[in-house]
Chains A and B, each alone.
Chain A
Amino acid sequence: MKKAVLAAMAAATLMFSVGQAQADDFPTHAITMICSWGAGGGSDAQLRFVAGLMEKELGQPIKVENRTGGGGAVGWSALARAKPDGYTIGQLTAELAMDHWITPAVTVSYKDFDALALMNEDAATVTISATAPYKTYEEFVQYLKDNPGKVRGGATSVGGIWHVAMGKWLDSIGLPVNAITYIPTSGSAEAYKEMAAGGIDACFTSVAESATMYKTGKAVGLAVMSDKRDPKFPDIPTMAERGTDIQVGTWRGIGLPKGVPAERRAKLMAALKKATSDPAYLKFMEDRGFGVKYLEGEDFYNYMKASDEALGGALKALGLAK
């Protein structure tokens, strides 16, 4: 029911904005968009691109503010505390569903926000070094079973999304989490640097992050943890095809502090929808290798809720949730 009302309202505002002036001529001044990650990273690039397109729709400038720190918690806390007048919006990412499980000091979670829309989802992969003694998926699994703890895996810091992906995958094939020794790194770039130097044997990063390593022949992708194959690397099978149905990925969306008037929310949502269906945006996402997935309002909220529960469970299994 709620969804229907929202959809109707979105449609109404869209028609309205094409038509005449309205009661609430939101926005009348610049909108602030909070990014919890540093300028120049993938999350920031995506947000800035969307902001540029939304500006055109809303007729007001959008300032992207990078409020970094605390694994994203600093930016999200600022967003949750912002005045709910629609002039402050921000990016929500998968780490929102993880930080509060790992660190008790982080209290901010998906419950503190109204969802606007999910824009992107990148699935994890199982990627092995090209110089490894095992070449195929089956060989790799067998090697893990025969040599517990011998394989060194990596991709992010401990408790990062790709660490969780590794834990869930090992669990799904019936192996304990310490079947792979996890080497914490600061991110996928460092992990691949280590892989090239022979320090790490397996990575669990997204396809986008692994793409150049595949192309340069330094790494081999064995499976994607998604329900469909990646269009850029159609040769890599999904987990379901490998006989175990798990899906783990990172996601990015846009949210609002709780309590923004419904009319303004609908307006922002309409602008976001228009921006994310723009061909320039779709081309950007494809060029950078980001997976496009769009879910609006309530659907996005439920998606975050499900993700929060799944990731929380996985972190507990890894012994990282407090």
Chain B
Amino acid sequence: MFDFSVMMQGLQSILDPTVLMIIVGSGLYGLFIGAMPGLTATMAVALLVPITFYMDAVPAIASIITMSAMAIFAGDLPGTLLHIPGTPSSAAYCNDSFALAKKGKASVVLGVDLVLSALGGLFGSIILLCMAPVLAEVALQFSSYEFFWLAVLGLSCAVMISSGSPLKGFVSLLIGLLVNCVGLDITLGFPRFTFDRPELFEGFSFIPAMIGMFGIAELMKNVSEPINRNATMIEYSTDIFKGIGGVIKKYWNQIIRSQLIGTCIGILPGAGGDIAAWICYGVAKRFSKTPDEYGQGTVEGIANATTANNAAISGAFIPALVFGIPGDSLTAIIIGVLFMKGLEPGPTLFTNHGDFLFAIYMVFILANILLIPLGYIIIRLATKVMRVPTNLLNPIILGFCIVGAYAINNANFDIMAMFGFGILAFIMLKHGFPVAPAILGLVLGDMLENTFMQSMIKSEWDLTSFFSRPIAAILGLITVLLWFSPLIVKAVKKGRKVQA
């Protein structure tokens, strides 16, 4: 696909010492941003853009790519150590990572996160390298019907992933979806439940809600426990890479499955790492031999989801590079930077700027390889948090929660929202309602309603239109099968018994 000379040119442009230094520097920056709850990769990139004005095209794009790949992994750090996911992509398996950390396995969990994130990222990069133009064409066949099914698929996972009573999981999901109704509606711009507050027109911001439901609820639980001064979290093993080989060996087929699903979801503009992680977690639970472990600390679930969200990152670049259609705010910024550098995304990028494109692919691969050493250092540093006594740690976490919620819109209103969601989650947990489905409802609620209404307006309220297109019909079928798979499995087993 690439000429040898073009490849050499591309390689040369990234093996330049300054470029390498920029990659390492932005990698560290990304790790740092991702580890801070409330700071999103988008915000970090927006801050980086004015600096990229003064760089060449390759280092400019390289710095953004490296940063975003690192940030997704780093979101696992506070999720594992403090039960506050650093990025929405880590929310799916936050409960499990934290449960394992409490059992003293923080380093092991983070080791699994690190290695599988890197593997997931590499897989996604290779797919990008090999088949970007083909996949982009497929991704562009997704209209509102297909995205509707994707949202339904994701939400079905919510009820599947909830441990305990499915009814309570469903109530939790409905809470998330109902909260999502707050704000201007998409079809008429009608303000719903906004109480005339402009802050609510676009609904609640997701980040403060997430910090509240995980962070504040956890803090409320922590401070209410009897004080054991100087108590710290236990840590049995500090060997980060211990057991990683075993994990890969045991789950290799699942990991490949999640890499595939993650990359595919990443390619669809508008769906991203967070949805990929949720769906892979849900699918893994559905097919798991030990579904009871999910939510209580399952390495299997973590392995699947952490692979998926990194695999999705490179996928998001495919429609952006091939058609200039951004999948999220991050790729939108990258398209802007490409324009600035006179490299317009589109087919011409592939024909006229092969060396640049090859350099970008190489940066993806390099960034994911680099993730291992840099991630190792950051895990070593971050796990020191566990030695801080809880009477000092909890107030500091409170500080980070407040600032993190504030930073998303620079408004005290969001601290208020975090406060409310924290109390809500605390009450829910106390009465046996899982919080994860509510979070997923918040993530996918907009997509569900918007795509449903769009489809209905397009087809003039013909419900069969959800099965009228081939991809939509397949996705719909998968969803229905996923719902009824336990029944089918039971029926098959029964049938076999009868035969026997």
Contacts and interface: CB of A to CB of B under 8 A. Distances in A.
Contacts of B143: 193-194, 197-199
Contact of B140 (A45, A181, A183, A197): A197
A66 B345 contact: no
A320 B457 CA distance: 17
A190 interface: yes
Given A74-B411, A184-B454, A157 B184 contact: yes
B462 interface: no
Interface in A155-179: 157-159
Report, as a range, how many residues of chain B touch the other chain. Answer: 35 or more
B345 A212 contact: yes
Contact of A196 (B46, B191, B325, B450): B325
Report, as a range, how many residues of chain A touch the other chain. Answer: 35 or more
B410 A71 contact: no
A216 B329 CA distance: 21
Interface stretch (B107-115, B149-157, B195-203): B195-203
Interface string B341-385: 110111110000000000000000000000000000000000000
Contacts of A288: 336, 339-340
Interface string B405-426: 0000111010000000000000
B394 interface: no
Contacts of B457: 181-184
Interface in B181-205: 184, 186-189, 191, 194, 196-202, 205
Contact of A158 (B187, B325, B335): B187
Contacts of A103: 184, 189, 191, 201
Nearest to A163: B189
A289 to B, nearest CB: 7
Interface of B: 42-43, 45-47, 49-50, 53, 140-146, 184, 186-189, 191, 194, 196-202, 205, 269-270, 319, 322-326, 329-330, 332-333, 335-336, 339-342, 344-348, 409-411, 413, 450, 453-454, 457-458
Given A67-B411, A183-B458, 20 more contacts: A40-B49, A45-B49, A45-B336, A48-B49, A68-B202, A73-B198, A74-B198, A77-B198, A106-B198, A152-B458, A184-B187, A184-B454, A193-B142, A199-B454, A211-B344, A215-B347, A216-B322, A216-B324, A216-B346, A288-B336
Interface of A: 38-42, 44-45, 48-49, 52, 65-71, 73-74, 77, 102-103, 105-106, 152, 157-159, 181-186, 189-190, 192-194, 196-199, 211-213, 215-216, 218, 284, 287-289, 320
